[in-house]
Amino acid sequence: MRNFRLTVPVLLCLFALSCATHRPPVKTPTTPLRPPGKPVVTTEVRAVWVSETTKLDWDTATRELQRTGFNTMYVNLASAGAALYPSSQTLPSVAGKFIGDPVARGIELAHRRRIAVQAKMVVMFSFRSPPEFQRKLLKSDRVMRGADGKPIVQSGSFWVCPTQPANREAALAEVKEILRRYPVDGVQFDYIRFNEEPSCFCKNCREDFEHALGKPVRHWPGDVLNGELRKRFNDWRQSVINDWAKQLSATVRQARPGIRITAAVFPALERAREEKAQDWKFWLDHGYVDAICPMNYTTDARDFEERCRNVLKFAPRDHVVMGLAEWKFQRPEDLRRQVDLCRQLGLAGFALFSYDDATERHFLPAMELH
């Protein structure tokens, strides 16, 4: 940071001198690449989520983000049923037809412009998975199931069960492939939880729970759904997700020591624990993640502040990158007030969902982050 502060005035002087003598044509900034393997270090995290990675114009995006003062991209690279980059050896690639690897080129451009890139993984949801792979998930009984025994489906795609070894192995192979292939500055886990509908009631979960309980459940699923084993079942569900977060985190840290690990989470901790078995405080306390990104998706100023303060009861402020619902705002200045509050509260930073929407509605320049 000190070097950065020293070099900025020097660069400004050089720029002024060059303008005074001649006007060079506008061209891509040629900031040298940072040394390989060394993560881009940011102070305040000013992030955007990128959902539609396969449609992303990396050159335009990184140029615009740099110009408007953003420094981090959370880029969706994989789900439980798809790789959003070409030629994956572990999951079906849905990257489309490109020459070369647009993600590799994009990350290089981002780094040239001093923008950190975190690979986002949609852990338990098979977002963008092709139909043939969806059928495979169903046929091999790897899907998450509700209390009625039916697969849980969102927007036509299955959720997968976190206790099944095949699902875990697929996710671990995926994250290893991403880290082997791309010099990302971090990994973000999203959808690392059970579905909001009571779940999972698959055969494997029943067996695992009964094993942990030490005896069979007499009335399945009634006893665990609303009966005497309800709390035991939810404690077990939390232990499943905690263990999964631990395993994913250890895999990332072993593959690429020093890079950031974050998780997109629900801001209300008690509800997150109860409804989705998502105990993000446990993950922070045990160092599985370096920061959380609570999805504080509201336009109401009071609700937003209340949720921020609730998060801060359980998480250190410098471990919180607050997620803002850019797509819900009509005016950038109202969104900007949430950024100001994040700064007043001393948070690690903020993240807009999403770049895709913000750029379409020209919100980024209006944020005036510099």
Query: Considering beta carbons, is residue 86 or 146 the nearer one to Zn ion?
Result: 146
Instruction: Report d(CA 110, CA 114) in Å as an integer.
Output: 6
Q: Output the CA angle 175-110-366, nearest 5 degrees.
A: 115
Applying CB under 5 A, which part among 4-12, 19-27, 156-164, 275-283 lies near Zn ion? Answer: 156-164
Cis status, amide bond into 200, omega within 30 of 0 = yes
CB of 151 to Zn ion, least distance (A): 10
Q: Which stretch binds Zn ion (CB under 5 A): 44-52, 70-78, 190-198, 201-209?
A: 201-209
Q: In whole angstroms, give the CA distance from residue 118 to residue 184.
A: 6
49 forms bridges with which residues in the sheet? Answer: 74
- Measured from the CB atom, the residue of 40 and 200 that comes closer to Zn ion is 200
**Of 118 and 129, CB closest to Zn ion:** 129
Q: Which stretch binds Zn ion (CB under 5 A): 67-75, 194-202, 228-236, 244-252?
A: 194-202
By C-beta, is 163 or 262 nearer to Zn ion? 163
Q: Are the C-beta atoms of 166 and 173 separated by less than 8 Å? A: no
Smallest separation, CB 79 to Zn ion (Å): 18
CB of 142 to Zn ion, least distance (A): 9
Residue 47 near residue 74, CB atoms below 8 Å: yes
Query: Minimal distance in Å, beta carbon 139 to Zn ion?
Result: 16
From the list 57-65, 161-169, 171-179, 251-259, the region that binds Zn ion by CB under 5 A is 161-169
Query: SS3 of 292, please?
Result: strand
User: Would you give the distance in Å from CA 172 to the centre of its chain?
Assistant: 16
Nearer to Zn ion, 170 or 348 (CB): 170
Helix axes 203-213, 230-255, angle to 10 degrees: 100
Question: Pairing state of beta strands 153-154 and 157-158?
Answer: antiparallel
Closest CA to 170 of 261, 52, 79: 79
What does the per-residue mask of binding to Zn ion show for 205-244, with x meaning CB under 5 A?
x---------------------------------------
Closest C-alpha among 113, 137, 105 to residue 124:
137
The residue count for binding Zn ion (CB under 5 A) is: 4
DSSP state of 67: H
- What is the DSSP track for 123-149? -SB-TT--HHHHHHHHHTT-B-BBTTS
Residue 169 CB, nearest approach to Zn ion (Å): 15
- Measured distance CA(260)–CA(45) in Å, rounded: 12
Q: How far is the CB of 48 from Zn ion (least distance, A)?
A: 33
From 96, 97, 95, select the one nearest 76 (Cα to Cα): 95
By beta-carbon proximity to Zn ion, the closer residue of 70 and 201 is 201
The dihedral sign for the CA sequence 146, 151, 174, 261: negative
Q: What is the number of other CB atoms lying within 10 angstroms of the CB of residue 219?
A: 11
Q: Give the x-and-dash track for 244-283 against Zn ion (CB under 5 A).
A: ----------------------------------------
Q: Which is nearer to Zn ion, 35 or 165 (CB)?
A: 165
Cα–Cα distance measured from residue 364 to residue 48, given in angstroms and rounded to the nearest whole number: 10
* Of 205 and 217, CB closest to Zn ion: 205
Q: How far is the CB of 277 from Zn ion (least distance, A)?
A: 12
Task: Tell me, residue by residue from 112 to 151, as one string, x for binding to Zn ion by CB under 5 A and - for no binding.
Answer: ----------------------------------------
Q: Nearer Cβ to Zn ion, position 198 or 332?
A: 198
* Closer CB to Zn ion, 94 or 152, in the complex: 152
Candidate list 77, 152, 171, 202; residue touching Zn ion; CB under 5 A:
202
* Structure token pair of residue 184: 């990302």
- Is residue 161 a contact point for Zn ion (CB under 5 A)? yes
Q: Which residues bind Zn ion (CB under 5 A)?
A: 161, 200, 202, 205
